[in-house]
Structure formats: C-alpha cells, structure tokens
Amino acid sequence: QVQLEESGGGLVHPGGSLTLTCVTSGSRFSFDAMGWYRQAPGKQRELVATINSGGSSNYADSVKGRFTISRVKPKNTVYLQMNSLNFEDTGVYYCHANGKWGPNDYNYWGQGTQVTVSS
C-alpha cells in the first residue's frame, strides 16, 4: 500500500527557512509527478509547487523565487526548501503524488505537516 509521510514542519520566525521532506513507500514505480499543497485555516487547499519525472517544476506565483522543489526519483522522495518565509506561508503542507501507470491514474496524499510563521 502506498504511503506518503511528510516531515520538517515547525515554528519559524519571519524571514527564516525550513525544508520539508516527503518520503514515500509501497510503490514499485516512480511517480510521474509529485508536489506540495498547503491549506490555511478558512481557505482552500492550494498548489505550492510540483515537479514531474523529467525534472520540470512549477510554482505558485506567491512562492516563486523563495521555494525550491526537488526529488529523488528512484525513492520517490520530494523536498521543499522554503526561504524568506512570511506570515502568509503559514498552513498545513501536504505532499501529493500522481502516477499514470498503464491505463490508470493514481493520486496519493500525505497526512500533512504544520508550518507556522510567527514573530
């Protein structure tokens, strides 16, 4: 059974940095795309960054230049380096993985890790 587990969240001061890690298990194949979403209280879950199997990445406008997504494909592990954090970055960050294997399309989600930016 495929599982995604996030780690690295915590409390950080404005302007600080954090690196999130998503470790996957249970998959025999590399995911086509992996990414990070976040959700703040009272708001919809939003896309933060994605990276596909070819290494092409995509970022939300609000995090461009500050966040960097990377992955280790053989282990289906994805990282999110977050710099220059501000109050608007606070939320629960979720790891997501998508796999298009054979005729099927699979989507998996982690439990989430809390990131709190506070002075």
Written as one letter, the residue type at 90 is T
b/e string for 27-63 if b means 16 or more Cβ within 10 A? Answer: beebbebbbbbbeeeeeeeeebbbbeeeeebebeeeb
pLDDT in tens, 64-111: 999 999 998 766 899 999 999 999 999 999 999 999 888 999 999 999
Here the tokens at position 64 are 């461009």
**Number of Cβ atoms within 10 Å of the Cβ of 69:** 21
pLDDT in tens, 12-37: 999 999 999 999 999 888 899 999 99
Mean pLDDT for 3-13 is 97
What is the Cα–Cα distance from 106 to 92, expressed in whole angstroms?
A: 22
pLDDT range class, residue 53, cuts 50, 70, 90: confident
